[in-house]
Amino acid sequence: MKDKVDLSVNLGSLHLKNPVMPASGTFDIRDTLLNMRELNSLGAIITKSIASRRREGNPGPRVWETDGGMINAVGVPGEGVEYFKEHILPLLEEANDTIIVSMVGDSIVDFCALAKKLDNFEKISALEINLSCPNLNNGLYFGVNKDVLGDLIYQLKKSTQKIIIAKLSPNVTDITEMALTAQEAGADILTIANTFLGMAIDPEKQIPRLGNKVGGISGPAIRPIIVRMIWETSQKVKIPLIGVGGITCAQDALEMFLAGASAVQIGCANFSNPYVMLEVIQGIKEYLLRKKYSSLLDIIGLVHKNHF
């Protein structure tokens, strides 16, 4: 039996040494238990969404555990892009050679100005677009309106040379339509998907559990829906997919590869187990060895072939 297995994967021109990275917002380079060697062993590091200026975030409570997951309305707090450049980017550069910056804006103009700025930072490998925020100009969420989504990505591609990853919202009737729109507009990679909009209420106090009233649901409960979305989308688009939603172990990640994802992100499982990403990398490796594959590429989308 071979003891070497290749976990590397190319998502278009984005090369990853392995397919495991954190989901945006669940990992902070300033607040991680991982040491330098461990940080460097991740496929990539994705930042919390960066905005053009300081954002305060939502009032508390911002998180609440639900059955099989959690609901959050953190509200993308952050110090803004200048602070990021000065204080966070240097730490990231030291930690991993593939840095993906998640970015958020409140209008297409705002998004594009931010992308132009980030375009100058050489060490950033790609930009992931957080579409789960309202467009201040017309009140529509970027991620749930096809025209707004297409327009934003088209404009962004004109503003930056960086690889554009569109993180789609699952809160739509047919995610494949949004995926096709993003692809046509020039997105290089798709992340499937962001959190599901939900709500939790305290029956005793008779008020919402979250300060923001509604929030995004993540965790194991949503994973089968995400796997289905990856399976459907990978049949329709040509660009690579990153799967995210409820992964807590290698088995969960493997479902997404088999459904057609080329890489995965791990979100709220990091909270409970800060070493979960390393365990997932190891688990994928062991699976491939046990099944006698030489490369991760051998299993990506395999369910489509085995299905019929």
Partner 1 sequence: MEAYENKPLLVKGKIRKHKLISNNYGEMVIEAPQIAKRAKPGQFVMLSRWQIKNLLLKRPFSFYQINPQEGRFTILYKIVGKGTEILSNSKIGDEIELIGPCGNGFLLPKEANRIALVARGIGIATLLPLAQEASNRGIEIYSFLSAREKSLLLGRDSLESLSFHTFYTTDDGSKGRKGKVTYFLEELLKENKVNFEAVYTCGSKRLAQHIQELQQKFHFFSYVSLEERMGCGIGACKGCVIRTCHGYQRVCKEGPVFPLEEVMFYER
Give me the active site residues, please: 133
Question: Which of 28-36, 113-121, 144-152, 182-190 is the region at the interface with partner 1 (rule: CB under 8 A)?
Answer: 28-36
Outline where DSSP puts E strands in 80-199. 99-103, 124-130, 163-168, 189-192, 196-199
In the complex, least distance from residue 35 CB atom to partner 1, rounded to whole angstroms:
6
Distance CA 156, CA 147 (A): 14
Binds partner 1 (CB under 8 A): choice among 43, 46, 48, 193:
48
Choices 7-15, 106-114, 162-170, 273-281; region in contact with partner 1 by CB under 8 A: 273-281
Sign of CA dihedral 267, 146, 164, 82: negative
| Distance, CA of 297 to chain centre | 20
Is residue 224 a contact point for partner 1 (CB under 8 A)?
no
Does 59 participate in binding partner 1 (rule CB under 8 A)?
Answer: yes
Whichever of 92 and 175 has its CB closer to partner 1, that residue is 92
CB of 86 to partner 1, least distance (A): 15
| Residue 64 in contact with partner 1, rule: CB under 8 A | yes
Residues 74-103 that bind partner 1 (CB under 8 A): 74, 77, 91, 94
DSSP 8-class letter at 185: H
Q: Which of 61, 186 has the CB closer to partner 1?
A: 61
**Cα–Cα distance, 264 to 106 (Å, whole number):** 27
Q: From CA 195, how far away is CA 181, in angstroms rounded?
A: 20
Answer for which of 40, 41, 273, 282 binds partner 1 (CB under 8 A) is 273
Asked if residue 44 lies in contact with residue 23, where contact means CB atoms within 8 angstroms, the answer is: no
Q: How far is the CB of 30 from partner 1 (least distance, A)?
A: 7
Q: How far is the CB of 304 from partner 1 (least distance, A)?
A: 27
Task: Label each residue of 220-254 as H, E or C.
Answer: HHHHHHHHHHHHHHHHHCCCCEEEECCCCCHHHHH
**Is residue 69 involved in binding partner 1 (CB under 8 A)?**
yes
Which one-letter DSSP state was computed for residue 195? P
List 107's β-bridge partners, or say none. none
Question: Which residues of this protein are in contact with partner 1, per CB under 8 A?
Answer: 25-28, 30-33, 35-36, 48, 56-57, 59-65, 68-70, 72, 74, 77, 91, 94, 207, 211, 219-220, 248, 268-276
